[in-house]
Amino acid sequence: MIRAALISFLTLAACAPIPGGSVDGVAPQYNGVGTSLLDGDLVQFHVSMSGVAAGADLDNYAECAAAQYALIRGYGFARHVRTKMKQEGGNQMADAVYTISPSLPRGLRTIDAEVVVANCEANGIPTV
């Protein structure tokens, strides 16, 4: 019973609106994703955005890219490894690394790719 409640909570949390927002009323601009396969199941994502107020927007964009990439490769899950962020002018960029896997990986920052991609689509965040 507790397990079912936890799964329901996690599913609902994954569908919640993504935090963040625009800067000065300007809608966020998603400026592209670059991917690099580093080693087997380790993938690097370079994402860029402008018009965002918080790093959470950039994290969400990278997560959406990782989830879609996992699905494209025939995997159902991903796990966040690390993200480095920087800002140049009005652009924010992130260098994020994820592992992709066919089954739920160990760790705290795991991603169910299908759920995340559906959430991204519902919130207007592009994927790969």
Q: Are β-strands 91-101 and 77-88 bridged in parallel, bridged antiparallel, or unpaired?
A: antiparallel
Could you tell me the pLDDT band of residue 16, with boundaries at 50, 70 and 90?
very low
Q: For residue 67, what pLDDT is reported?
A: 98
110 within some domain: yes
| Tens digits of residue pLDDT in 40-62 | 999 999 999 999 866 889 999 99
Q: List 82's β-bridge partners, or say none.
A: 97
| Tens digits of residue pLDDT in 90-127 | 899 999 999 999 999 999 999 999 999 999 999 999 99
Q: State which residues form the domain around 16.
A: 2-21+28-122
17 within some domain: yes
8 within some domain: yes
d(CA 86, CA 55): 9
Query: Does pTM surpass 0.85?
Result: no
128 within some domain: no
Strand locations in 40-109, DSSP E? 42-50, 77-88, 91-101
127 within some domain: no
Q: How much of the chain, in percent, has pLDDT values that exceed 70?
A: 79
Domain count of the chain? Answer: 1
59 within some domain: yes
